[in-house]
Structure 1
Amino acid sequence: MSRQQAHKEQALVKMLRYVLGVAPAEFGLLPDEAGWVSVKELLAALHQEEGWRHLRQGMLADAANRLAPELIELADNRLRCAQRSYPPPDYEAQPPAHLYLGARRKAWPVMHKRGLEAGPGGRPWLLAADPDRALSLGRRRDPEPMLVTVQAQPAAEQGAAFAAWGEYFLCEWAPAACLMGPPVEEAPPAKKPVAKAPPAKEAGPALPPPGTLPGSFILTAEDVEKPYKRKGISKDIAWKRERRKGRKRG
């Protein structure tokens, strides 16, 4: 192994030790109670750091399985450091008047109606005191996040709790009335579908004018009422026919 490769591997272990064991809040990460951080969140955070955009999931697995298995643990697509020294959240800290969240575009209409709600397992939201920092966190989930402002004091008066986490604040719930963000366009009521008329049948070939086909003739009203008056048709009367037969027998 070259010195350059050995140096890169040592730097990776050192970085993971610092991010997962010393200062996860500095990178906008919130480990669970057992210290675990999802691989996806860890990669998203480190990809925003200069010099670590090349980091891949396989390199994290190599750090846990080969480079420092006694220090870095990997299980169920989560990583943690066996030696952790970061402080717990501070629920005594007072938040500033305004906190900020970089929300996903699809999530903001829901927040606008229901407010902030804890994620799976009661996971709190990570709010920043600086709009740019909030948008930087939001870009990990959406390339164009929406900036949402949380009015901390009115929210606290309605029961919201805030805990300092490094330069961030944790919040599990905040009422919708205390959130400010871009206007939400309400979708117009759905229109009933209009039944389409069946397509018109294509007309067949045009017939030639009457009397133009060979052997055809035009039938008139006189032909219908007195057909025997037509030229070449004799009137056949029953009593005349019997009289002719009698003459022949006589």
Structure 2
Amino acid sequence: MPHTNDLKKKAKFLKYVLGLRPDEFGLVLDKEGYVKIKELLKAVHEENGWRSFRQANINEMMISLPGPLLEISENRIRAKDGQQIPKRVSPENLPKLLFTCIRPKALHAILEKGILPMGRNHVILSSDKNMAKRIGRRIDASPALLTVSVDNAIQQGTLFLQAGENLFLARSIPVDCFTAPPLPKEPRVAKPKEPPKSRKQDRFPGSFFPEMTEQIEVIEPKKMTRKQRREKDIDWKKSRKQTRRR
């Protein structure tokens, strides 16, 4: 029974998130009122006591609780009665600044092409900087915060829709309509160390030092024939006799 009561409480909370105030949790529903289950889980994991909540718990709710408050279609989920969810409307009074976050590694592309939906149907912006950071941390642990000038964007043809109290949508934001943090410095690539140069001996005028790398020609003595050896022996004997006579 305690487990069933816990499931009922969680189901009612999800009913509130999906059926009443998805914008309060940084969620934007599609035209049918659905949101991807993984997006819902990322949002509720930010709440106390919900860190271990998984899709298996949602499936258990659908099976165990009578008259489930939720509906699942493939990888999407919505409140069964979501008539009170905020509709997308053209805002009457837009704030001067809106905020959105991106992955830091996408900053180079954003500065060249503008802010794009990045896998979504719209760019999600917020008038609350903390909410923008909260949504950004779902895609990157340290997101880059962008500040959008609403007036400049409107002058360049950007249309904004409001999806709740502080969430806004746009197809894209032109390049010169927002400010971004400075680009991260590229790490310096260490140059490979050159091998130490061999020290050459000092050379002075008139001196000669053979290079060790040059091959030294070795002159081998010529072999004497037998006749030459006899003649050499005779000459040596004659020379010895003459020395004795003296």
TM-score (norm. length: structure 1): 0.71
Aligned to 1:7: 5
Mean CA deviation greater in 177-186 or 102-111: 177-186
> Equivalent residue of 2:105, what SS?
coil
Q: Structure 1 residues 229, 126: closer, same or farther in 2, change over 3 A?
A: same
Distance 1:174 1:24 in 2: 24
Match of 1:239 in 2: none
Contact 1:113–1:176 at 8 Å: present in 2 too? yes
Task: Measure how far apart 1:70 and its partner are.
Answer: 4.3
Aligned equivalent of 1:113: 112
Aligned mates of 2:19, 2:227 — CA distance in 1: 118
Where does structure 1 lack aligned partners over 5 or more consecutive residues?
195-217, 236-250
The answer to whether the 8 Å contact 1:112/1:176 transfers is yes
Distance across 2 between alignment mates of 1:97 and 1:105: 24
CA contact (8 A) 1:93 1:164 kept: no
**2:176 partner amino acid:** A
Aligned equivalent of 1:138, options 136, 139, 142: 136
Task: Determine the structure 2 residue equivalent to 1:172.
Answer: 171
Please tell me whether residue 228 in structure 1 is matched to residue 225 in structure 2: yes
Q: Is the 8 A contact 2:153 2:174 kept in 1?
A: yes
Preserved contact between residue 103 and residue 138 of structure 1 (Cα < 8 Å):
yes
Aligned equivalent of 1:124: 122
Matched AA of 2:183: V
- Give, in angstroms, the shift of residue 187 of structure 1: 6.5
Contact kept, 8 Å, 1:63 with 1:69, in 2: the verdict is no
- Residues of 1 paired with 2:98 and 2:137: CA distance? 17
Q: Alpha-carbon deviation of 1:119?
A: 4.4
How far the C-alpha of 1:109 sits from its partner, in A, is 2.1
What amino acid is the match of 1:96?
Answer: P
Q: Which amino acid aligns with 1:54?
A: S
Root-mean-square deviation (CA, aligned residues, Å) is 3.0
Tell me the matched-pair count. Answer: 203
Identity %: 31
Distance verdict in 2 for CA 1:178–1:70, change over 3 Å: same
Question: Which residue number in structure 2 is paired with residue 211 of structure 1?
Answer: none
Distance in 2 between the 1:53 and 1:230 partners? 109
Alignment CA distance shift 1:50-1:185 (3 Å): closer
Alignment of structure 1 residues 182-221 onto 2, 5 Å: 182-184=181-183, 219-220=220-221
* Cα 1:40–1:230 shift into 2, 3 Å: farther
Amino acid in the other structure paired with 1:171: A
- Answer yes or no: is the 8 Å Cα contact 1:22–1:84 preserved in 2: yes
The residue that corresponds to 2:52 in the other structure is 54
Deviation for aligned residue 1:94 = 2.7
Q: 1:92 to 1:132 in 2, by over 3 A?
A: closer
Deviation at 1:106, TM superposition (A): 2.0
Q: Which position in structure 1 is the counterpart of 2:18?
A: 20
Separation in 2 of the partners of 1:64 and 1:134?
A: 32
Partner Cα separation in structure 2 for residue 108 and residue 68 of structure 1: 48
Does the 8 A contact of 1:100 with 1:148 survive in 2?
yes
